[in-house]
């Protein structure tokens, strides 16, 4: 793939991931045109002020719920990075219909509009919460994954390619516990739901790099999963607020003790590479196109945050979060 000849559109382009992606794309990928698609005019204005006189950067106000608007936005686009979503677990639990409209119906709109407009490739961002989902957010993202994978059957062999990335918590993203802990430490007390809790961990820049790498490798139908470290929630609290008292408040509705990136059932169609995993689609249109360096996982293998072999220490977390500065 030649980014410099591509017209790229990122949905949710003014969100946490979108802003990071735009920064890297403008500095390194240098696409012919980069379109920021989002529904927040104020955030688009702020981004426009941050990147003055960048003629290759365009702004398109719209909502992925609006299929007509998507058709207009995707005209002439080569590559779509789909990052728009309702992602706050409590908000999705309280507003389930709205979560479905954005995360599921919006995904279907992107698939149909991309096929109709002749987009070459679409990469959708998913989450570890889509694996054996316990909350509505995870359930909608699982459904979206299924939609994007099966979208390849509708586009045909020479049509639009659809693939997904699936990864865990991104440090400092909106709704991240990092922001909560930083606000709470001023009071001298940190609220922790359960001291046994573990999570996967990625920095914003690592997430962007992984997405870019997946776009360059995708053939249509894969779910790409990175190898990333785990962290203990108590270690994160120590890294951010070592002097604070821990207040154990109990697990919230829809929350897991540990997260999964690959389930035991998925291991039957997953392969491992040096820096990640690839989950193949169980579809008749998928022919074996596995990279030469990949090895099949054993049946029943899981990739879970509590059984991971790579962990971040308190010192690692402080360094990654810039708390040593």
Q: Could you write out the three-class secondary structure of the chain? A: CCHHHCEEEEECCCCHHHHHHHHHHHHHHCCCEEEEEECCHHHHHHHHHHCCCCCCEEEEECCCCCHHHHHHHCCCCCEEEECCCCCCHHHHHHCHHHHHHHHHHHHHHHHHHHHHHCCCEEEEEEEHHHCCCCCHHHHHHHHHHHHHHHHHHHHCCCCCEEEEEEECEECCCCCCHHHHHHHHHHHCEEEECCCCCEEEEECHHHHHHHHHHHHHHCCCCCEEEECCCEEEHHHHHHHHCCCCEEEECCCCCCCCCCCEEECCCHHHHEEECCCEEEECCCCCCCCCCCCCCCEECCCCCCEECCCCCCECCHHHHHHHCCCCC
Query: Among the listed ranges 143-147, 264-268, 289-293, 313-317, which one has the minimum average pLDDT value?
Result: 289-293
Percent of the chain, pLDDT > 70? 98
Q: Would residue 178 count as lying in a domain?
A: no
pLDDT the model gives residue 176: 77
Residues that are catalytic: 129
Between residues 113 and 283, which one has the greater pLDDT?
113
pLDDT the model gives residue 325: 52
Q: Would residue 144 count as lying in a domain?
A: yes
Domains: count for the chain: 1
* Residue 53 belongs to domain with CATH number: 3.40.50.720
Between residues 285 and 127, which one has the greater pLDDT?
127
Q: Would residue 195 count as lying in a domain?
A: no
Between residues 286 and 139, which one has the greater pLDDT?
139
* pLDDT higher than 80, residue 272: yes
pLDDT the model gives residue 290: 77
Among 98, 123, 99, smallest CA distance to 111 is for 123
**Mean per-residue pLDDT of the chain:** 93
Q: Give 293's pLDDT tier (boundaries 50, 70, 90).
A: confident
* pLDDT higher than 90, residue 30: yes
pLDDT the model gives residue 42: 96
Q: Would residue 254 count as lying in a domain?
A: no
For the entire predicted model, the pTM comes to 0.94
Q: Would residue 43 count as lying in a domain?
A: yes
pLDDT the model gives residue 316: 94
pLDDT the model gives residue 60: 97
Q: What is the extent of the structural domain holding 56? A: 3-170+201-227+261-302
Q: Would residue 235 count as lying in a domain?
A: no
pLDDT the model gives residue 175: 66
* pLDDT higher than 90, residue 116: yes
* pLDDT higher than 80, residue 157: no
Q: Would residue 129 count as lying in a domain?
A: yes
pLDDT the model gives residue 288: 65
pLDDT the model gives residue 134: 94
Count the Cβ atoms, other than its own, within 10 Å of residue 68: 10
pLDDT in tens, 186-208: 899 999 999 999 999 999 999 99
Q: Give 32's pLDDT tier (boundaries 50, 70, 90).
A: very high
User: Mean of the pLDDT values across residues 47-60?
Assistant: 94
pLDDT the model gives residue 308: 96
* pLDDT higher than 80, residue 174: no
Query: Among the listed ranges 101-115, 122-136, 238-252, which one has the minimum average pLDDT value?
Result: 238-252
Contact of 201 with 191, CB cutoff 8 Å: no
Q: Would residue 193 count as lying in a domain?
A: no
């Amino acid at each position: 793939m030649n980014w410099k000849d591509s017209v790229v559109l990122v949905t949710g382009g003014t969100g946490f991931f979108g802003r990071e992606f735009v920064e890297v794309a403008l500095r390194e990928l240098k696409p012919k045109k980069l379109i920021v698609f989002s529904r927040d005019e104020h955030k688009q204005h702020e981004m426009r002020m941050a990147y003055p006189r960048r003629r290759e950067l365009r702004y398109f106000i719209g909502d992925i719920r609006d299929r007509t608007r998507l058709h207009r936005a995707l005209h002439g686009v080569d590559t779509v990075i789909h990052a728009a979503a309702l992602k706050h677990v409590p908000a999705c639990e309280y507003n389930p219909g709205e979560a479905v409209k954005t995360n599921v119906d919006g995904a279907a709109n992107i698939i149909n509009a991309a096929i109709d407009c002749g987009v070459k490739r679409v990469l959708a961002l998913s989450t570890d919460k889509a694996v054996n989902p316990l909350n509505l957010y995870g359930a909608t993202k699982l459904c979206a994954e299924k939609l994007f994978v099966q979208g390849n059957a509708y586009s045909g062999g020479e049509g639009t390619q659809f693939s997904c990335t699936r990864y865990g918590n991104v440090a400092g993203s909106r709704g991240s516990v990092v922001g909560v802990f930083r606000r709470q430490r001023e009071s001298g007390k940190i609220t922790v739901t359960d001291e046994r809790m573990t999570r996967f961990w990625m920095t914003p820049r690592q997430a962007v790099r992984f997405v870019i790498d997946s776009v360059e490798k995708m053939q249509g139908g894969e779910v790409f999963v990175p190898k990333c470290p785990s962290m203990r929630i108590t270690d994160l609290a120590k890294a951010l607020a070592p002097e604070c008292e821990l207040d154990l408040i109990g697990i919230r509705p829809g929350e897991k003790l540990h997260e999964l990136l690959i389930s035991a059932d998925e291991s039957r169609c997953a392969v491992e590479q040096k820096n990640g995993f690839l989950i193949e689609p169980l579809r008749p249109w998928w022919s074996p196109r596995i990279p030469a360096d990949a090895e099949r996982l054993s049946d029943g293998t899981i990739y879970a945050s509590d059984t991971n072999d790579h962990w971040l220490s308190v010192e690692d977390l402080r360094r990654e979060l810039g708390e040593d500065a």
